[in-house]
Structure 1
Amino acid sequence: MKLKKIFTTAATLIFCLSGIFAQSNAADAKSEKDFRRICENLSKVKVVRGDFELSQYAEKNGRTVNSSGKYTISASDGMIWFTKKPVESVMAITKNYIIQENKGRQRKMDGRKNPTFAHMANAISSLFTGNYEEIEKNFIVECGPVKNAGFEWGITLTPENKTIASYIKTIKVNVLNKPDVCHILMIMMETVSGDRSDYQLSKQVLTDTLNSHEAKYFEK
């Protein structure tokens, strides 16, 4: 091959690659901008309540366990899961501790002694409250509209933090993002062992304060 032809071929290849990288960078920038816009809308919500349905799949035995109930997320406090079926129980999660309540008995655990829990609790709390700086510090973020779903957006989080990555493979989230309302519709978490937890959230009500029953779980 003549030198001129080699040069032309190489130049064309470089031009094409630079175009691909430019498109990729532009797509990444748009994804980041969309994600931050959604987070800003999520952060405006102080308290959200709703119903949940949870499907938990265990890779080891291939079994799926379903449960349902109600949940409350407080931007300044944490989250509470009031399971109604198949067995009534309560789990409250903050950045510092977990409360588990079953058949009237309550157990409180210090989450700060468990680095994996601390990082996961912080990540989930940051997601619900729209703290994009904390999320982007620990995850690679992909964000884009869900096809044929109007105002619904899909977010995929892949852990960069080694502690989180030792347990979580990926987190996928669907968010309803309208001009007048923004809340999470679905969360799916897959562990490195292949287990999956799929939360479907519905009937959301946005408010400014906790009620007395909810507040007692966040008493210091």
Structure 2
Amino acid sequence: MNAVLRTLVVLVSLVVAAPVLAAPAADVDLVKQRVAKVGVLRGEFSQEKQVAGFKNPLRSQGRFVLAQDHGVVWTTLKPFPSEVVVTRDRILSRQRDGSSRVELDGRQQPAMRSVNAIMFALMSGDAQALAAQFTVKVEAKANNGWSMQLSPRSAMLGKVFTGLKLQGDRYVREVEITEANQDVTRIHFSGMSETPAALSAEEGGKFE
């Protein structure tokens, strides 16, 4: 199963029992002011996962499309082509050659809406949305940069993550996820583009 999908499946089972808490008094306004508010954002990613007990990390790379009104298309190109599409209502994972397909329907699992919202918030740097599930510590950086350190607010989420870190400026540039088993995933985003401002027919079709 795709690693992104596997993490989301685990989150679904935990968010069911996790309370949604009011945002803390962290200063999230700085991030809100610095992160671009765009309808469609495209870019590339490289991901490195260091599994506890193994010397060499697992690496992958690809591209993504983040559409605020639709969802996220996460296309892995290396080492094995695959694709994960996340919308408000579902998560769809498939091999690029169409040989396999896994779909989770948010209408059957309402908690998935919360999980998907977390994924959107991580990729778009939505500090206020993240503050509903995490304690947020914000730090201003030079050149309009910023960093956020996130700690799970519920024991249930704490069973999956011990912490998350985000860094960026106009865009989210890096995400670091430390799991409870001490596996660490680092995702670096690059080549971001806000144009064209609308989805192509091919891109739009992935959300249908």
Q: TM-score of the superposition, structure 2-length normalised?
A: 0.76
Distance 2:162 2:42 in 1: 28
What SS class does the counterpart of residue 163 from structure 1 fall into? Answer: helix
Shift of 1:82: 1.2
Per-residue CA deviations over 1:32-86 (Å, capped at 9, x if unaligned) read 33x3232255362111111110001222545411011111111122211111111
Shift of 1:161: 3.3
Shift of 1:168: 1.4
Identity %, equivalent residues: 20
One of 140, 143, 147 as aligned partner of 2:138: 143
Question: Are the counterparts in 2 of residues 91 and 101 from structure 1 also a CA contact under 8 Å?
Answer: yes
Distance 1:77 1:106 in 2: 23
Question: Which has the higher mean CA deviation after the structures are superposed, 68-77 or 57-66?
Answer: 57-66
Distance 1:124 1:98 in 2: 11
Higher relative contact order (CA 8 A, sep 6+): 2
How many aligned residue pairs are there? Answer: 182
Task: Give 2:30's aligned residue.
Answer: 37
Task: Give 1:22's aligned residue.
Answer: none
Task: Give 1:216's aligned residue.
Answer: 205
AA matched with 1:198: R
Question: Are the counterparts in 2 of residues 119 and 163 from structure 1 also a CA contact under 8 Å?
Answer: no
The change in CA–CA distance for 1:116 and 1:186 in structure 2 (over 3 A counts) is: farther
Distance 2:168 2:110 in 1: 28
Higher helix share: 1
Q: TM-score of the superposition, structure 1-length normalised?
A: 0.72
Distance 1:115 1:59 in 2: 32
One of 160, 183, 205 as aligned partner of 2:171: 183
The change in CA–CA distance for 1:122 and 1:100 in structure 2 (over 3 A counts) is: same
The change in CA–CA distance for 1:163 and 1:75 in structure 2 (over 3 A counts) is: farther
One of 179, 184, 193 as aligned partner of 2:181: 193
Task: Give 2:153's aligned residue.
Answer: 160
Task: Give 2:48's aligned residue.
Answer: 55
The change in CA–CA distance for 1:209 and 1:196 in structure 2 (over 3 A counts) is: same
What SS class does the counterpart of residue 137 from structure 1 fall into? Answer: coil
Question: Are the counterparts in 1 of residues 175 and 187 from structure 2 also a CA contact under 8 Å?
Answer: yes
The change in CA–CA distance for 1:66 and 1:57 in structure 2 (over 3 A counts) is: same
Task: Give 1:121's aligned residue.
Answer: 116
What SS class does the counterpart of residue 194 from structure 2 fall into? Answer: strand
Task: Give 1:5's aligned residue.
Answer: none
Mark the structure with the bigger radius of gyration.
Answer: 1
What SS class does the counterpart of residue 188 from structure 2 fall into? Answer: strand
Question: Which has the higher mean CA deviation after the structures are superposed, 72-81 or 119-128?
Answer: 119-128
Task: Give 1:204's aligned residue.
Answer: 192
Distance 1:76 1:40 in 2: 20
Task: Give 2:98's aligned residue.
Answer: 104
Runs of 4 or more, structure 1, over 3 Å off, are: 40-43, 60-63, 111-120, 127-133
Structure 1 alignment gaps of length 5 or more: 1-27, 177-181
